[in-house]
Structure 1
Amino acid sequence: MKTAPRVGVFGLLGSGNLGNDGSLEAVLGYLRAEHPEAVVDALCGGPEVVATRYRIPATRLHWYRGEYRTASRAGAIAAKGLGKLVDAVRTAAWVRRHDVVIVPGMGVLEATLPLRPWGFPYALFLLCAAGRPFGTRVALVGVGADAIGDRPTRALVRWSARLATYRSYRDALSRDAMRAMGVDTARDEVYPDLAFALPTPPSGASSGTPGPVCVGVMDFHGGNDDRARAEEIHRRYLDGTTRFVRALVADGRPVRLVTGDECDGPVVAAILAAVDSPLVTAVEAASLADLMKEMAAADTVVATRYHNLVCALKVGTPTLALSYAAKSDALMDRMGLGAYCHPARDVDADRLLEQFRSLEQRSAELRRTLTERNTTASRQLEEQFAALTTALFPAADHVHAHATREVS
């Protein structure tokens, strides 16, 4: 009798980052549609949230609960060190129980935001290394990657990618970065971000008179190599974004502030206090679906976080990116809006306002472009999921192919 495949999902899921959770939701949708017999559970950052929201069993990623807090006392440092050893055993035991483990999207092979090597990069390495001796197929699906300067982080990321059974990327830059770091990417494919596979809410954009502008903000302090000037970068980002919102209000435009991670709240509070206008409101989104609804109701979106951009582009709303990494530029270019990127490290409110007005003047044309690009993205993600079935569920793929021949 054939047993149901045991599938694990892995990552910083349920930890407050809506983009990560959106990638998980897309993969769970694929599994439930194409492999409903699969028994699914998670090893993740926020097991309580994942278990409640997605109705799958979930286990905490790290044994030590303070893994991502800075350890200054001797006891905390010792606990972190012990946690590395315990996590090696826990991860191996979890991997061994599965036929397949999927890392759904996320920028797991990059360090475009501050990152320590012995945090998530080490956890990912443990996962991929454990897959080999136990015969568990580990898949990095639609992930983001970037060139990494820090040697320990680069080594862990490179070996994680090498040890994985399957790899695909959310843009060509990611695949190029892994190739440059010494990974053989000859058989690796590029597909749109997994969030483009999520359901799209209907557009509620107003017509005629100028309507609301959705501004996605971020607790931005630069990347992994910007730690020495992180506060300066943050101050310039906040000051420039605040000036831009104030200019919109002066034009009588309603502004909705949105976020993509729990840590972004203080930025919203600072802008609300600085602008102090009833035209500026904020929304706390619980999912990418909530974000999409907000952005579908807007005339225009200006956003920083990568998955804020994904949501806006997916619902077909003309979008301007406050870009903090090459992945944002690549996404905007893929969707036909490459001209509408502005550096998050150096926000010039006057220049940003000029780009915003140009974007709005071309709104009808750009909405048509986004409709075409979204149709292409949907087709490409169907190909991604078909490739995933072939790589990870060969028996199921044979059954599906046989059924197709029977019908034809």
Structure 2
Amino acid sequence: MTSDETPLRVGLFGLFGAGNSGNDGSLEAVLDHLRATRPGAAVDAMCGGPETVATRYGIPATRLNWYRGEYRTASRASAVAGKGLGKLVDVVRTAAWVRRHDAVIVPGTGVLETTLPLRPWGFPYSLFLLCLTGRLFGTRVALVSVGAGRIGNRPTRFLTRWSTRLAAYCSYRDVQSREAMRAMGVDTGRDEVYADLVFALPSPSANESAGLPGPVCVGVMDFHGSNDERDRAEEIHRRYLDGTTRFVRALVAEGRPVRLLTGDELDRPVAAAIVDAVGSPLVTVAEAASLADLMKETACADSVVATRYHNIVCALKTGTPTLALSYSAKSDAVMAEMGLGAYCHPVREADADRLLAQFRELERDSARLRRTLAERNLAVARRVEQQFTDLAAALFPAAGRTDAPRETT
């Protein structure tokens, strides 16, 4: 770039900096790639926690929503009015932010799924505004290695379908995500499947996991079911908490040290409840503030039993035998992809006895599984590298090239 050229302006869009380590890890993967391949680019973010993102990653950041209570339940008339006004203000704010960029990237995460409770006028609406204003102002919007699922709620399905149609580029982290969008009437003929962006992050050094026997890492989650299970949310949560607590208690009875992992600030009360219920010094909670911290924990473990998707990904990436307490098909998909498809347990059952039996089988098969994970990680790393190569070609094409809108069938 010569001194009189305007630097490339790239925006990163998502729920970063809001306490979810998986979202932040996806941001970090793309940011690392941009810094390595386009060091002259001006990069900033529109996100859920701008203060955290600006401090942690050193880039300018703008708040995703004008109304600060956007993701809190509105019980008072003033809060309802604030949310309503915020939807209008966000149209102008999003348009102004998008217009300043040559391209905007939505890095990974499950932005096209509703496996957890989600209101249509929350993030689905924000994503729709991004893709719509990107199309209007000629800013190329890319949904990169995203997760998707079949959506039952009509307003959410409408917003999600139109977001993918208006985006200039879309790729998925697994085949089932692409198939889910196709089943909802989206033309996915040009969309490729790669892998979760978190697999691009560096792993801990091998010597960090070598040596003395390690603990069992148990990743917990504030799980209350999916968007379509709101009427049974508390029942689902109680069953999950009870089953996980019984499993941890059984490990402690065998003298096994247990490290509880979280992936979101919402998970911390769940970890605290298990610690209190088991009442043993063998159970501790890891203070992991990032996916790098989580990977260090899983790399040092003998084995991992995890619920939250990116806890599972961290464990698989570090080559640690993993059992998934699976709450959605995305967990089953990544486990199968990494050769551990037999080690999934449905989270809505959380049967401590059967979970313990699966865990013992996992540990008996540990040596073979570690070899399998080493091989699969090499293949996945190559796919993520290819994703970045293809993304660059799509986002920064030769001058004069334009793309037609993505069609729905």
Instruction: Give the TM-score normalised by the residue count of structure 2.
Output: 0.95
Q: What is aligned with 2:87? A: 84
Q: Does the alignment pair 1:333 with 2:299? A: no
RMSD, aligned CA: 1.1
The 2-side partners of 1:32 and 1:246 are apart by 45
SS of 1:190 mapped into structure 2:
coil
Counterpart in the other structure of 1:75: 78
Aligned to 2:156: 153
- Structure 2 partner of 1:391: 394
Among candidates 268, 288, 292, match of residue 289 of structure 1? 292
Distance 1:104 1:211 in 2: 33
Structure 2 Cα separation of the partners of residues 237 and 126 of structure 1: 36
Residue of structure 1 in register with 2:202 after alignment: 199
Q: CA deviation at 1:394?
A: 2.4
**How far has the Cα of 1:192 moved from its partner?**
1.0
Give me the whole-angstrom Cα distance separating, in 2, the residues matched to 1:17 and 1:211.
Answer: 26
Match of 1:352 in 2: 355
Q: Work out whether residues 206 and 299 of structure 1, in 8 Å CA contact, stay in contact via their aligned partners in 2.
A: no
1:180 alignment partner in structure 2:
183
Contact 1:211 1:253 in 2 (8 A): no
Does the residue aligned with 1:394 lie in a helix, a strand or coil?
A: coil
CA offsets 1:49-74 (integer angstroms, 9 cap, x no match): 00000000000000000001111111
Q: Which amino acid aligns with 2:46?
A: L
Give distance in 1, aligned partners of 2:396 and 2:321: 39
Tell me whether 1:96 sits opposite 2:99 in the alignment. yes
What secondary structure sits across from 2:133 in the alignment? helix
What residue number does 1:249 align with? 252
Identify the residue that residue 406 of structure 2 maps to in structure 1: none
- Alpha-carbon shift at residue 205 of structure 1 (Å): 4.0
Question: How big is each residue's C-alpha offset from its partner over 1:105-144, in whole Å with a ceiling of 9 and x where there is no partner?
Answer: 0100000000000000000000000011111000000100
CA distance in 2, matches of 1:337, 1:148: 27
Q: Is the 8 A contact 1:171 1:191 kept in 2?
A: yes
Aligned mates of 2:196, 2:78 — CA distance in 1: 41
The DSSP-based 3-state class of the residue aligned with 2:345 is strand
Structure 1 gap segments, 5+ residues each: 397-408
The match for 1:307 among 307, 310, 328 is 310
What CA distance in whole angstroms lies between the structure 1 residues aligned with 2:256 and 2:379? 33
In 2, the alpha carbon distance for the partners of 1:394 and 1:125 equals 24
Residue deviations 1:77-114 (CA, integer Å, cap 9, x gap):
11110100000010001000000000000100000000
Is 1:269 the equivalent of 2:289?
no
Aligned counterpart for 1:230 among listed residues 230, 233, 242: 233
Displaced runs of 4+ in structure 1, greater than 3 A? Answer: 203-208
Offset of residue 207 of structure 1 = 6.2
- Structure 2 partner of 1:133: 136
Hey, what's the Cα distance between the residues in 2 that align with 1:361 and 1:246? 20
Residue 163 of structure 1 is matched in structure 2 by 166
What fraction of aligned residue pairs are identical, expressed as a percent? 76
SS of the residue aligned with 2:248?
A: helix
Q: Which amino acid aligns with 1:333?
A: A
Kept after mapping to 2: 8 A contact 1:108/1:144: yes
Alignment check: 8 A CA contact 1:257 1:280 kept: yes
- Secondary structure (helix, strand or coil) at the match of 1:232 reads helix
| Contact residue 12 and residue 20 of structure 1 kept, 8 A | yes
Once the two structures are TM-superposed, the CA of residue 32 in structure 1 deviates from its matched residue by 0.5
1:47 is matched with 50
What letter corresponds to residue 121 of structure 2 in structure 1? Answer: W
